[in-house]
A and B are shown apart, each in its own frame.
Chain A
Amino acid sequence: MGNPLLTFWSRRRPDDDQRRIRRARALAATSSSAKASATIFLILRRMRAPLIVLIVIFSVSVLGLTLIPGVDAEGRPWRMGFFDAIYVMSYTATTIGFGEIPYPFTYNQRMWLTVSIYLTVIGWAYAIGSLLSLIQDRAFRQALALQRFSRKVARLAEPFVLIAGYGRAGELLGHSMDALGRRVVVLDRAAERIEGLELESYRADVPGLAADARDPAHLGVAGLDHPMCEAVVALTDDDEANLAVVMTATLLRPDVPVIARATTRAMGERMRSFGSPSVVNPFDVFGDHVRLALRAPASYQLLTWLENGPGGPLPPRGSPPRTGRWVVFGYGRLGRELTRDLRDEGIQVTVVDPQPGADGEDGVVADGSEPGVLDRVGIGSAVGFVAGTDNDTTNLSLVAAARRAAPELFVAARQNRPANAPLFQAMEIDALLVPTEVVAHQVYAQLSTPLLWRFIRDMPGRGDAWAAELVERLTGLCGEQLQALWKVRLSAEEAPSLPAWLRSGEARLGDLLRNPEDRDEPLHAVVLLVLRGDEATLDPGPDFALREGDELLLAGWPAARRALAITLQVDSAREYVVSGQRVPSGWVWRRVEEQLRRDPARRG
């Protein structure tokens, strides 16, 4: 550090970043493992006193027994050897008590043994008591849990997603990733949430650690420096903690994508100043969704369906009123975003908030619980109503009151606590915002496959009619439940039977999507998107010409996925599907047929 030339030189090195990162990672890993071993050493240290007491008591009693004269069976003087003494003391101290061995004791010996019994019982009780209390010690158990956790994470041999913050959103995300067959590692501050992991029905084992995600060492143990870590997701309910996770991840692992939840725009900006994390702001997303729903209800319906993950039912197509005045209760984070989005759409908005807000024109300063407040804002002439405060009880009572005043109203509400879900469901809200679910769905869409995220971003541009038609086709082919959603890359590795066909230039998509058992039957799957290089084609028609290296995003039955896999792997299946010719799949028969083809004379 002292030599300025050396400092300059090291700055010039291109791999300087790499070295810095490696060093930081090593630091994070060692500091956490040192913490774990420190606890073990502390435990050993605390066992010193009980063990020494036990050894001293035991040796004094044994020594006493060997020194005190006794008599043998014939009454001759006899002294107990060390072996006998240790044997007698062992069964006496542990309260087993076999009796007086090898010869009945003299009174002298019995007196000594009486003293020894009390001494050794105290010694054992002390040692065992200390050991038991140590095992129940919180620090010790945490150290053990940390070691078990880091062992589990280190042994992960498949790509995994690191989720920091296992609240409602983390849980939803974890389950949808698990349903896709992806591995998940979980970090949360609350021990009860991590303990709850064991009771949840995950298919794969989910390693979880109760620790603060703001500590880089904890993230390191949770697999931030693991080569198989494919993404880091910060979903804690504390924006500061999420920022800390984003910082740690982007500094120590710049190659791993980071997705973070932020509830304000300012926090989103702070996060974006570190590299390029993907920031999910539930209120912003909800505002965008409402805009999309206003403009294109079918696109919105398709979007929410795909974001719900595998097995999700088709959501109903809402139709928010496009013309007329909206009333928004609560000008907090949600109210602000929503008001801005609605006004951008050219809709008149009346904002109601107990705080005299920054909102100029149509702001009404009032508490939602005041009687007559709904009449004051003219609920009768409004078409849309949003109950967006951060109190569920207020929101529910506002919705009930508004419904009574104007039954035809389009009602949107914000649900803050998951426990209140049944109440909101019973109210039959037209558009419900559950911030945690919005976050989980957004993150899922980004992580499941990059193609789905691309599709979701490009889809609104295609218009409502197109989305309605696609929903129609999807429900016609696969039913009202979203089935599997998967990705196929038409490369030599993933689709070994295709390259020759693809190079012919006549590879129509429609030919590929046939059942390899019976080619007249189409596969129950829809190609949502084809990605070629950076160019995405949404919903390509059957005449779309495929090329090598294309990536396909498909939705459809799991059976269709297996059938398509057969077509992509087996040459004869591909030949049959594309041309209708049955080609022998075995080597011998193929040889025979080639021979026949080469020599047509022998055929006839």
Chain B
Amino acid sequence: MNLEKVVFGFFVVLAATLNFGFFIGDIDDPVLHNPFELFAAIVVNLIATVLKFGDRTQIGAVHLATSLVADLQLIGAGLMWGYAEYVSSAGMTPAWTASVVSLSGGALLANLVSIVLLVIETVSFHRG
């Protein structure tokens, strides 16, 4: 067992599950989408990105790319949430909530790709 692989797999999966937890629920209902969960998803995604630094293989490069996409989407969602909450006078209206959640949905897709890559890597390792 390789500890590095454990940590790596843990963060990749955790990033996806947190993201999923935030995403699930009615898209325009702010009560169902906890900002703490979004925050945790952002943090874990960032850590997963840094863990993917410096891998020279082709699959490592795609891993890094998907993580960067997820970061971009989640940070975008966080910024929109901050804007709705602090700058706009309306607060978390259903429209704003839907935008934030749909952005996190995009990030979820990238995270799922990451997990698929992880599985492919594992399987091909056993075969090779």
Contacts and interface: CB of A to CB of B under 8 A. Distances in A.
Interface string A40-84: 011111111001100110010011001000000000000001110
Given A52-B47, A55-B47, A83 B85 contact: yes
A125 interface: no
Contact of A56 (B47, B54, B55, B78): B47
A592 interface: no
Contacts of A45: 53-54
Interface string B80-100: 011001100000000000000
B82 A83 contact: yes
A38 interface: yes
Contacts, number: 48
Q: Classify chain A: how many residues form its interface, as a range.
A: 20 to 34
Q: Classify chain B: how many residues form its interface, as a range.
A: 10 to 19
Contact of B36 (A41, A44, A51, A66): A66
B59 interface: no
Given A56-B47, A66-B36, A47 B53 contact: yes
Given A55-B43, A55-B47, A59-B43, A83 B53 contact: no
A42 B35 contact: no
A51 to B, nearest CB: 4
A48 B53 contact: yes
A187 B46 CA distance: 43
Contacts of A59: 39, 43
A48 B51 contact: yes
Contact of A41 (B51, B54, B82): B54
User: Most B CB atoms within 10 A — which of A37, A55, A62?
Assistant: A55
A44 B35 contact: no
Contact of B50 (A37, A51, A82): A51
Interface in B23-57: 35-36, 39, 43, 46-47, 50-51, 53-56
Contacts of B55: 41
A66 B55 CA distance: 35
B35 A41 contact: no
B39 A41 contact: no
B54 A42 contact: yes
B34 to A, nearest CB: 11
Interface of A: 37-38, 41-48, 51-52, 55-56, 59, 62-63, 66, 81-83
